[in-house]
Amino acid sequence: MESTTLLPLIGIPIVVAGFALRFNPLLVVTVAGLTTGLSVGMDFGMLLETFGEKFVNSRSLATFLLILPIIGLLEHYGLKERAQAWISSIASATSARILMLYFILREGTAALGLIYLGGQAQTVRPLLAPMAEGAAVNAYGEDLPQHIRDKIKAHAAACDNIAVFFGEDIFIAFGAVLLMDAFLKENGITNIEPLHIGLWAIPTALSALVIHMFRLTRLDASIRRDVDAWKATQSAAKVSA
């Protein structure tokens, strides 16, 4: 009886193992979903139909299809370059300060339910990452090595992921909050409301904010150390040559 009850959770170790082995995330999630459905006795045809229905009915699909062409056009006409140039004109701007400001705004808007106000495709890639990179270029020059640029981009992507992940649970109409509320009620716990779940998410979101702000305060110093180490390596290479 216990093994039957735990079968719907079989997708969790698949996801964990897939991400740990760095397989394609879309492939991992798809395999986990198919395995979970088949393990609980769903017909394969019905399972595929469910996948298709959820994909087509997803509100994010329309947003995805509309946003990507627009972002592509903006990038084609120099959006990233303009963002970098604008940040380079602000002397006090640093990579860490830009990311801190975005993190606070992103988590705050996610808590209000404005999840699609930002995102990796529509904000991080065309705007946030180039702005943070532009601040570093302004400080250390155009010859900033690629591994440092990649590090800044990674921090920009992490800012968006972490901020929205912990901020969205505060919004009581968010799907995950409603799912938790429904699950609790189905199992006889009726004294918990979505408002309670949202309120209990606030300390976690604040903790994520404090921890990530601490991480970002160390980013500028980390970039400086990487640049110094890179310059030392370049100088040593020239001397040996």
Q: What is the mean pLDDT of the chain?
A: 82
Per-residue confidence band for 34, with pLDDT thresholds at 50, 70 and 90: confident
Question: What Å distances lie between residue 107 and 63, 177, 207, 217, 218, CA to CA?
Answer: 20, 16, 12, 18, 20
Let me know: does 111 contact 205? Beta carbons within 8 Å.
yes
Query: Is residue 92 very low, low, confident or very high in pLDDT (cuts 50, 70, 90)?
Result: confident
Distance CA 129, CA 165 (A): 19
Maximum pairwise Cα distance, the chain = 75
pLDDT tens, residue by residue, 38-90: 887 887 778 777 777 766 555 555 555 566 666 677 667 777 777 777 777 77
Domain ranges of the chain: 1-57, 65-240
pLDDT at 214 over 90: yes
Q: Coil, strand, or helix at residue 188?
A: coil
- Give the model confidence (pLDDT) of 143-158 as tens digits: 888 999 999 999 999 9
Mean pLDDT of 90-119: 89
What is the pLDDT, as a whole number, of residue 116?
79
| 230 within 8 A of 145, measured Cβ to Cβ | yes
pLDDT at 47 (0 to 100): 78
H helix count then E strand count, the chain: 12, 0
pLDDT at 33: 83
Is the pLDDT confidence value at 218 over 90? Answer: yes
pLDDT for the residue numbered 36: 84
pLDDT > 90 in the chain, percent: 27
Residue with tokens 């404005």: 114
